[in-house]
Amino acid sequence: MFGRSQLIAGLFLVLSAKAIAQPAPPKPCGPIPSANQLRWQKMEFYAFVHLSVNTFTDQEWGNGDEDPKIFNPDKLDCRQWARIAKEAGMKGIIITAKHHSGFCLWPSKYTDYSVKHSPWRGGKGDIVGDLAKACREYGLKLGIYLSPWDRNSAVYGKPEYITYFRNQLRELLTNYGDIFEVWFDGANGGSGYYGGARETRTIDRKTYYDWPNTYKLVRSLQPKAVIWNDGGDRADLRWVGTEAGNVGETNWSLLNDTGDVPYNMLHYGLEDGNAWVPAEVNTSIRPGWFYHAYEDTRVKSLPQLMDTYYSSEGRNGALLLNFPIDRHGLIHETDQQAVLAFARAVRQTLAVNLASGARATASNVRGHAVAFAAQKAIDEDPASYWATDDSVTTASLTLDLGRPITFNRFLVQEYIALGQRVKAFTVEAFAGDEWKRVTAGTTIGYKRILRFNAVTAQKVRLTITSAKACPLISNIGLYNAPQLLNAPAILRAQSGEVFIRPADPESQVYYTIDGTQPGTASPKYNRPFPTDGKVTVRAIAYDPISKKASPESRETFDISRRNWKILGADPKSIYAIDGDPGTAWQQTKSAKMPLDLVIDLGKEEIIAGFRYLPDQGWPAGIITGYEFYVSMDTTRWTLADKGEFSNIRNNPGWQIRTFAAVKGRYLRLRALRNTQNNDAAGYAEFDVITPDEIKR
């Protein structure tokens, strides 16, 4: 008989023999995430809220001279924001504690330009404090946006401002508990109130803020926070180069530590970057970041939000989704419904992982060890992973599902704690008696999700076709997402012909032009149809098999553009009024700012506003400063409006301007400046608004 001690010794021997047989885990490959970055990456989805004095003036950027008395969000309720974020599956909320206007949502000691001097709660309120409390109650993390640009501060542009900025940062990072992210916006310098100076101040984005010392302050006050910065020194997280809600299909979580990253590479990261700087995709649930009642009908639809999801979280990015807080201090009901429907659809998509329970085998397993076996990719433990031998960078993993299963989504995750490795992969299905390619991708990173038409197969194979080092796959998912019908696109050519384009070619389209809701009893769209003058077209796409309809799309067109002529311009100028946002006219020839777009309407009209859509392709000629004139004869012009299109660089959507109605036959949109400070003006579309125009 063995004694107890012999038994233990025997057991120890067996265990240590096993331990010796175990190959060591792979060495890190290239830069790896810090503990803060790893923790942040797992948050995946969190909210932005934008609120400031400009919420009450309908501007995207406050000028800094708005009277604090206009700030009165009479029903402000941070618990409502937190409840919605929580229900939507978000993990935190980042608040614009101070936006470019300089107005502070907390009673900062260092300025009078804050809630203290607003009528809201008699000047006794603190929105950052309220939100911190609400986040604690709902188990959410709190993040702070503090705009480096301050259009109110008299000392902006001078060294004293940096002290002021850091004092405010210290208040925010000291008085409100744990902060998970600090957001330093890159929009910087320009015109402003600046304590009454009302001038343009420019700063050197690289040196002015002395970021290294500001980062030190953040690290000392909030050691667990991640820093976002697109303006100056490299931070922990990067901007993706657009606010449209997507990051590149190829998305490396890497950048270079020093030196400038070419603007367009923010979208993709750098394969050989020497620093870990993962992507955060920031976008708003509406076209603007701040609340405008005229955007109540432009809240992103479910298909648009799903596209955003697959192009952000599905491409190795985190999703920071903004709610513009309305004038009552609430998330608008429509936004609430939109985000909750979105969250539901994501949950439904990922409800059942059809890969769990499969039998997994691999072409190579690191040291033949159980610890790195193929099965580790479907064991639902994010800390375990399938790994190959160090020398192997091409390998495949096969899942046998036991019976034919239908799926249309493929999810895959790398074990990023040891670096991002995979450069390219394919997914195949064994259907009939051969392997067929289902889809393919480039980078994976923390999480990659691919969409494709449903396939039915018993075996699925992931092949890593290229990697920087042995691949480490921590998770694989197969899902059968319920069908989503996209709202069709509605366009009107200059001729007045209306085109309706459904996203899925096989779906049917029904439409109305009489203001009624479209349904299957409405006219069916077969070909473009003519219209003339003002009309609202409403349309749905419909799948006769599932009997499901898409969300409705609705476009309101103003007076006919049939007889319009652009004067003194090259033939391509027609693209500015052809009704197709996909085509644009770039007015660059021999030109110097100011540049004029002059239109002959063909007859006298009453003009009460205009709409401008910049080039939707490469960001050139995006007009910021403008004047708008109307004339009866092209000799005497009346200035009807002037101003700036705020934030148009990052968010180049439709710009809508209305003014007191003016009569005339000729229009002149004068571009004074563009986002690149050169002499180009580009137009994807230009249209007018006439007085009795129905809701915008």
Q: 135-174 mask for ligand FUL (x: CB under 6 A)?
A: ----------------------------------------
Give residues 60-79 in contact with ligand FUL (rule: CB under 6 A): 60-61
265 vs 230, 252, 256, 260, 639, CA distance in Å?
Answer: 13, 10, 11, 10, 41
Q: How far is the CB of 419 from ligand FUL (least distance, A)?
A: 30
Integer angstrom CA distances of residue 232 from 11, 187, 587, 660: 58, 11, 32, 42
Q: Is-contact 72 120, C-beta < 8 A?
A: yes
CA dist list (Å): 420 to 18, 115, 443, 609: 29, 45, 8, 51
- Of 49 and 688, nearer to ligand FUL (C-beta) is 49
* Segments of 368-421 assigned E as strands: 386-387, 395-414
Nearest distance from C-beta of residue 50 to ligand FUL, angstroms: 6
Number of residues near ligand FUL (by CB under 6 A): 8
| Least distance in angstroms from the C-beta of 173 to ligand FUL | 19
- The least CB distance from residue 565 to ligand FUL, in Å, is 36
In the complex, residue closest to ligand FUL by CB: 187
Q: Is residue 580 within 8 Å of 493, Cβ to Cβ? A: yes
Nearer to ligand FUL, 61 or 176 (CB): 61
Of the chain, the end-to-end C-alpha distance in Å amounts to 89
Within 630-649, the residues that bind ligand FUL by CB under 6 A are 647
Kindly list the strands in the beta sheet with 489-492, ordered across the sheet, starting from the edge strand earlier in the chain. 489-492, 497-501, 529-530
- Minimum distance from CB of 94 to ligand FUL (Å)? 9
d(CA 335, CA 296): 8
Residue among 126, 150, 185, 335 that touches ligand FUL (CB under 6 A)? 185
- Greatest alpha-carbon pair distance for the chain in Å reads 114
User: Is 280 one of the binding residues for ligand FUL (CB under 6 A)?
Assistant: no
Dist CA 152 CA 14 (whole Å): 72
Task: Note whether 312 binds ligand FUL by CB under 6 A.
Answer: no
**Residues 229 to 248: which contact ligand FUL by CB under 6 A?**
none
Our CB check for ligand FUL shows the closer of 61 and 386 to be 61
Residue 143 tokens read as: 């993040």
Pick left, alpha or beta for residue 30 (phi over 0 → left; psi -120 to 50 → alpha; otherwise beta). Answer: left
- Choose between 280 and 313: whose C-beta lies nearer to ligand FUL: 280
Nearer to ligand FUL, 183 or 612 (CB): 183
Q: Is 650 in the site for ligand FUL (CB under 6 A)?
A: yes
**C-alpha distance from residue 13 to each of 10, 21, 23 (Å):** 5, 12, 17
**Minimum separation from the CB atom of position 61 to ligand FUL (A):** 6
Q: Residue 629 and residue 640: Cα distance in Å, rounded?
A: 5
Residue 25, preceding bond cis, omega within 30 degrees?
Answer: no
Q: Which is nearer to ligand FUL, 25 or 186 (CB)?
A: 186
Q: Which is nearer to ligand FUL, 384 or 647 (CB)?
A: 647
Supply the minimum distance, in Å, between the C-beta of residue 282 and ligand FUL. 6
Report how far residue 207's alpha carbon sits from residue 482's, in angstroms, rounded to the nearest whole number: 51
C-alpha span between 439 and 452 (Å, rounded) = 7
- Site track 186-215 with ligand FUL (rule: CB under 6 A), x = hit: -x----------------------------
How many DSSP H helices and E strands does the chain contain? 8, 33
Least Å distance, CB 647 to ligand FUL, is 5
- Which of 282, 301, 375, 522 forms a contact with ligand FUL (CB under 6 A)? 282
Q: Which of 40, 103, 289, 686 forms a contact with ligand FUL (CB under 6 A)?
A: 289
Query: Which CB, 251 or 647, lies closer to ligand FUL?
Result: 647
- The distance of closest approach from Cβ of residue 233 to ligand FUL in the complex, given in angstroms and rounded to an integer, is 17
Please report how close the Cβ of residue 680 comes to ligand FUL at its closest, in angstroms: 21
Q: Which residues bind ligand FUL (CB under 6 A)?
A: 60-61, 185, 187, 282, 289, 647, 650
